[in-house]
Amino acid sequence: MKTTEEFRRTYDDLSAEKDELTNRRTELENELAEVKTKIAHLDEVLDHLAPLSSIAYIETDIMGFGLTDAIRRVLTNSVDKLSATDVKQRLLENCYDLSGLSSPMASIYKVLSRLEDSGEAEREREGSKVFYKWKRSIPISDEDIPF
């Protein structure tokens, strides 16, 4: 049977390990914040340099966007129609932080619904599935197709 002193040593050891991990997490969070800031700065610089160098630069970093703008970017960058689950997956693939949302899917559905209501996106049904796609702002006519 363990003595009170042995339990105390175990407690102290585990407490010390927890403190080390907490400190390491803080260091990693600070490092991540610095990296995000550097990426945002580089995106700004690239965005300003692109026209000067005749490069069509399209910002794909959505980490600093609000949810609506991030979903707009996901839809505009997609050639395929996307389900709400697809939109969530694309957000995560682009390192968008959904952890601050209590119900990410409900928020995504709400934004998609608002984008549809505003005419920015359109909804398509295929059986029981619902998909969204970005509406082109300029209609394409037969004259726009070179073949």
Same domain, residue pair 10 and 45: yes
Count the Cβ atoms, other than its own, within 10 Å of residue 86. 15
pLDDT digits (tens, 9 = 90+) for 23-78: 999 999 999 889 888 877 887 777 677 667 766 545 566 777 899 999 998 998 88
Task: For residue 142, tell me if it sits in a domain.
Answer: no
Phi then psi dihedrals of residue 45, to 5 deg: -60, -45
Higher pLDDT, 86 or 139: 86
Structure confidence at residue 138 (pLDDT) = 44
Query: Distance (Å, rounded) from C-alpha 54 to C-alpha 52?
Result: 6
Q: Looking at the 3D structure of the chain, how many domains does it have?
A: 2
pLDDT digits (tens, 9 = 90+) for 100-138: 899 999 999 999 999 999 999 999 999 999 999 998 654
Same domain, residue pair 72 and 125: yes
Same domain, residue pair 53 and 71: no
Count the Cβ atoms, other than its own, within 10 Å of residue 56. 6
